[in-house]
Amino acid sequence: MKIVALGAGRMGRGIAHVFAYAGYRVDVLDFKPRPAGDGARLRAAALGEVAANLELLRELGILTGEEKDAIIARVRIVLLEDAPEALAAAAFVFEGVTETLEAKRDALARACRHVRDDAIIASTTSSMLADTLAGLVVRPQRFLNAHFLNPAYLIPLVEVSPAKVTADETFDATKALL
């Protein structure tokens, strides 16, 4: 199962770490248009942050060097031009863009153009209601909020808030994954 962390900032990187640690392949999707050099720097910084966090866990004896390498190998940083392919392959999309309605409206609308019909979209917002955001997606029954606490890889708690229109199957599948 492929997971997409939509947004390449701290939250997207933390979510990628969580799911890669659990054995899933994760694409961290940067939705911002960037020149080629900036994209390469973003990839290096994002993978470097995940690797540094994993190194800390290795130093604490929580995982081995081989486990660290296997985890980081499951994380891929995807730039805007490869967004359609990444989104089309995703079973779950965890949106973690800037906490503004405009940013979320834009990201969710663009993501909905490419996600498959059975994909679940979850917003990691802590400040917007699921009912509000569900109106911004094509299949609101496949939407809910799943708010990770930061740093996501250290705090094993995710607040899951379905919208009124969220299907029970969506809630159950998200809960099972988490």
pLDDT given at position 36: 78
Q: Tell me what the pLDDT averaged over the chain comes to.
A: 95
pLDDT given at position 3: 98
pLDDT given at position 126: 87
Q: Which pLDDT band, with edges at 50, 70 and 90, does 11 fall under?
A: very high
Q: Which residues are catalytic?
A: 147
Structure tokens at 87: 């989104």
- Is 18:152 a contact under the CB 8 Å cutoff? yes
- Dmax (CA) of the chain: 45
Is pLDDT at 37 greater than 90 in this prediction?
no
pTM (two decimals): 0.95
Separation CA 77–CA 42 (nearest Å): 8
- Is 96:56 a contact under the CB 8 Å cutoff? no
Strand-pairing partners, residue 160, are 146
* Residue bearing tokens 């779950």: 92
- The pLDDT tens digits of the residues spanning 133-159 come to 999 999 999 999 999 998 998 898 999
